[in-house]
Amino acid sequence: MTATQTPSNEQPKTASDAGRRPYATVNPYTGETEKEFPFLGTNEIDGVVERAHAAFLEWRRRPVEERAQIVGRAAELMLERQDEFAALVTREMGKRIQEAAGEVQLAASILDYYAKNGPRFLEPRQIEVMKGEAVVENEPIGVILAIEPWNYPLYQVVRVAGPNLVLGNAILLKHAELNPQTALAIEKCFHDAGVPEGVYTNVFLAIPDVEQVIAHPHVEGVTLTGSERAGSSVASLAGKHLKKSVLELGGSDPFIVLDTDDLGRTVKAATMGRMQNTGQACIAAKRLIVPEDIYEPFVEGLKQAFSTFSPGDPSDPSTSLAPLSSEQAAKDLHAQIQDAIDKGATVVTGGGRPDHAGAFVEPTILTDVTPEMRAYNEELFGPAAVVYKVSNEDEAVELANNSRFGLGAAVFSSDVDRAKSVAERIEAGMVFVNQPTGSSAELPFGGVKRSGYGRELSELGMFEFANRRLVRVLPTKKADKPQAG
């Protein structure tokens, strides 16, 4: 039984709970509230953590191959339920139905990756020593709190849950308030696959109660994907209570064009990199940096590409532009765009809200953006691109690195060696050459600077919440042989 499946008409558990906003499915296309769920009462939190810890103690003793088999079954179930998951994601955060189906497939592939490779990753590793032997063993550490966002509500969860469940940890998931039904569907998928009650638990946790969970002695770590503000708060709480933390925060990824022998293909890549998930991706191409000799045709090509997007129902496969996740998100993005316009930026296309019901913002291209504008320094989380003109390679690198973020980046050139050389100069956790920044199970994901710390996915993702225990063995001194006679 999940900790948070009680009906929405239930009264607050304590006086301090009164007035907190419940989790709710609010369709960003229609604006209708479909269903509400109450938060977990503060007086219930310790019990949930204790049950997770008890479940962890049993789960960790199961053979890793058994844990991996269960995670693999969850991958199969997720694919079997693709239509259900995709429809939930579309209704709760507005993702186009095709992209939602693609996210289901990506999430399942991550679970499958760890099911197949996790046991091998966790094998003990010998260390060469001069005498005796030394082995590093990989052991789970306990209950992990995962605080996950709404923009990729399946993918973000499984990139934490997959490796940690195979490792043997237990997960408490605090999903975004926008995604309650998706969160419950994920929990059911894991339980139906054979993950025991308590090993994976969805908690509709109110933000003020996060510290109570992190402070609990049976919670050993916390991971968050979200804003700088949320990351700073969680990192502070984790430090205060001496808990391991991993953060994946914002990004303002540069998309650097050094040269091109196919302008149309480069513009298409930039459009895809900026407009994926209606621009609501940490690793979306947000700052397009283009040399002056192709700047004007590039901007014109981008304008034509952006003009093909039109708002519509995200559940309709023919829709090209989905709403943002909420009306507030649309208002926030529009305020950033308007700030740039008010301070002198040039609007190539877009810049406003379309005359259409729903949380839409027009696909927008801004040029002549300068440091005093919010669009220069802040992450634009939606369908808005900023294009910069540079005169040479060094200027492109300097502009790309002139950001407090350092998540991903892309470098495009017909000369791959040149692109790789520039990639080595970019301050980012991930740099992609001749393709937009992306993600897959085998590639480590994470950033530097104010984009956070730690890595998820790949083999590296197995070890952020592992005890890499050293076992050092020295030979005993052989006893002297007895003398004859």
Query: Catalytic residue at 123?
Result: no
List b or e across 120-154, with b for residues whose CB sees 16 or more CB atoms inside 10 angstroms: ebbeeeeeeeeeeeeeeebebbbbbbbbbbbbbbb
388/366 Cα distance (integer angstroms): 9
172: Cβ contacts below 8 Å, ≥ 6 apart:
48, 49, 52, 143, 144, 145, 146, 201, 203, 213, 219
Determine which one of 148, 220, 282, 362 is catalytic: 282
Instruction: Please tell me which residue in 248, 362, 427, 456 is annotated as part of the active site.
Output: 248
- Four-residue CA torsion sign, 377, 350, 150, 83: negative
Active site residue 189: no
Residue 317 CA to residue 213 CA, distance in Å, equals 41
The Cα-based distances of 345 to 234, 300, 337, 352, 369 in angstroms read 35, 17, 9, 14, 5
Catalytic residues, by residue number, are 248, 282
